[in-house]
Amino acid sequence: MKAFRKLTTLALACLMVVMSVVGLVSCGNSNAWPVDEATGLTELYIGGIGPLTGDYANYGESVKQGAVLAAEEINAAGGVNGFKLIVNYEDSQGAADSAVSAYGKHMDDGMKVSLGGVLSGETASVVAAAKDDGILILTPSASSVAAIDGNDAAFRVCFSDPDQGYAAAQYVRDYNLGTKVAVFYASDNDYCVGLYESFASKKDDYGFEIVEVQTFDDSTKTDFSTQINAIAASGAEVVFVPIYAAEAAQFLTQAEGKLDIPVFGCDGFDGLLTKISDVSDANGVLMLTPFTADSPETNVQAFVTAYTAKYNTIPDQFAADGYDAIFAIKAALEKAELSSEDVENFNDRMVAAIKDITIVGTTGEMSWQDDGNVAKDAKLMEFVDGKVVAYVAK
């Protein structure tokens, strides 16, 4: 009996050692980064979130398509530092709670870098949820100040709302668009409110007067006749319209024959031609953007050619922002000298690297500040006969 007990005890001890080893191996395997069998490259999971259905799906699809194209091009060239970039997108339908759930799913699936959200509100929720994770967030298109506020690992490729509003005010002066300005915006949308407030704050500096302010909200966004009539009667020489493309299309359609002054919007006007039934209604409309598909720059034309071939449509600024975000991630990997063989302190090294790179993207030369904002130039564009072209002062 004693011998049997000794044997049993020894067997149990050995079994515990084996189980411990197996447990360690299993744990190690669950945390290991997956490897693409065809190429032998380590897969780097990049997660994106945005509206892929609903009224704002054009923005989400554009960002997603630009990001996917960039990853495909990088992977076709051999990847980066032993990594194959894998871009996965989840549909938020533009809702903050859905975006947070999508972020959690990405993390469960092994996400290493986040593209945040497409819209500002959903991105703010994701950025808050991600604060303790330390993961690099590089949103291509969320422009509100609050979208990346409070998380030192959050950055953006697009302009912030204040930057756009300030630039729009400057362009009103520089291009002599008018000294009497009307404004039409959504009072319940952070993007629209932020642009209006920053634009209005510069009126004295740039020598113009805001003679009329009209608003709408989600419950009144189908009939703008009252607002249009008020703007027409105000004596304004230009109307600043910091809203999204779907509402802008309705505004322009309803304003046809009633307003004979320039309509000036920001990057939310991207995608306008896909929302408006008669593209001639957009003729003469101005838009502030860092990207134009007719730019003669070699890198822009290469992107436009590849994007058009893949998706059978010309890319807008949101597609360009998604594309540039992936190449910024590539540049950060290279700057941090991170490889698939050395991923120690991955998050900290990526966050530090993004602040120390400068890239020439399709939306211009850009670098990133400690507060997460990007430094780059804007362009004033005009819609002409179904195309977006560089504005020429009249």
Structural tokens at position 5 = 């007990």
Beta bridge partners of 289: 379
Q: In terms of domains, do 279 and 302 share one?
A: no
Amino acid 24: pLDDT: 38
Amino acid 26: pLDDT: 36
Work out the pLDDT band at 89, boundaries 50, 70, 90.
Answer: very high
Work out the pLDDT band at 176, boundaries 50, 70, 90.
Answer: very high
Amino acid 379: pLDDT: 86
What is the mean predicted confidence (pLDDT) over 284-304? 92
What is the mean predicted confidence (pLDDT) over 374-378? 90
DSSP letters spanning 159-198: PPHHHHHHHHHHHHHHTT--SEEEEEEETT-HHHHHHHHH
Q: In terms of domains, do 59 and 75 share one?
A: yes
pLDDT in tens, 205-247: 999 999 999 999 999 999 999 999 999 999 999 999 999 999 9
Q: For residue 35, with 0-12 CB atoms within 10 Å meaning exposed, 13-18 middle and 19 or more buried, which class applies?
A: middle
Residue 325 lies in a domain: yes
The residue with greater pLDDT, 296 or 155, is: 155
Q: In terms of domains, do 187 and 70 share one?
A: no
What is the mean predicted confidence (pLDDT) over 39-66? 96
pLDDT in tens, 187-211: 998 889 999 999 999 999 999 999 9
Q: In terms of domains, do 107 and 221 share one?
A: no
Number of C-alpha atoms within 13 angstroms, CB side, residue 195?
27
Structural tokens at position 104 = 């959690």
Q: In terms of domains, do 201 and 285 share one?
A: yes
Dihedrals phi, psi of 157, to nearest 5 degrees: -90, -35
Work out the pLDDT band at 13, boundaries 50, 70, 90.
Answer: very low
Task: Evaluate if residue 257 carries a pLDDT over 90.
Answer: yes
Q: How far apart are CA 118 and CA 12, in angstroms?
A: 55
pLDDT in tens, 304-347: 999 999 999 999 999 999 999 999 999 999 999 999 999 999 99
Q: In terms of domains, do 315 and 332 share one?
A: yes
Q: Which domain holds residue 106?
A: 42-159+296-377
Residue 393 lies in a domain: no
Q: In terms of domains, do 267 and 167 share one?
A: yes
Q: In terms of domains, do 230 and 267 share one?
A: yes
Q: In terms of domains, do 154 and 166 share one?
A: no
Domain CATH for 151:
3.40.50.2300
Amino acid 28: pLDDT: 34
Task: Evaluate if residue 140 carries a pLDDT over 60.
Answer: yes
Residue 36 lies in a domain: no
Q: 3-state class of 90 per DSSP? A: strand
Q: How far apart are CA 118 and CA 179, in angstroms?
A: 34
Total-model pTM: 0.80
Q: Which of 14-23, 39-48, 233-242 has the lowest mean pLDDT?
A: 14-23
What is the mean predicted confidence (pLDDT) over 48-58? 94
Q: In terms of domains, do 137 and 192 share one?
A: no
Amino acid 62: pLDDT: 96
Average pLDDT, the chain: 91
By DSSP bridging, strand 364-368 and strand 374-375 are antiparallel
Q: 3-state class of 367 per DSSP? A: strand
Q: How far apart are CA 259 and CA 282, in angstroms?
A: 12
Total number of domains in the chain: 2
Beta bridge partners of 261: none
Helix pair angle (298-311, 57-76), 10° resolution: 110
Q: In terms of domains, do 144 and 84 share one?
A: yes
Amino acid 289: pLDDT: 87
Q: How far apart are CA 199 and CA 63, in angstroms?
A: 26
Residue 275 lies in a domain: yes
Amino acid 267: pLDDT: 86
Q: How far is CA 375 from CA 114, 367, 380, 383, in A?
A: 20, 5, 17, 26
Task: Give Cβ neighbours of residue 158 (< 8 Å, ≥ 6 apart).
Answer: 139, 140, 141, 142, 143, 267, 290, 317, 321, 363, 374
Task: Evaluate if residue 22 carries a pLDDT over 90.
Answer: no
The residue with greater pLDDT, 27 or 251, is: 251
Residue 21 lies in a domain: no
Q: How far apart are CA 363 and CA 320, in angstroms?
A: 6
Q: In terms of domains, do 278 and 317 share one?
A: no
What is the mean predicted confidence (pLDDT) over 360-384? 94
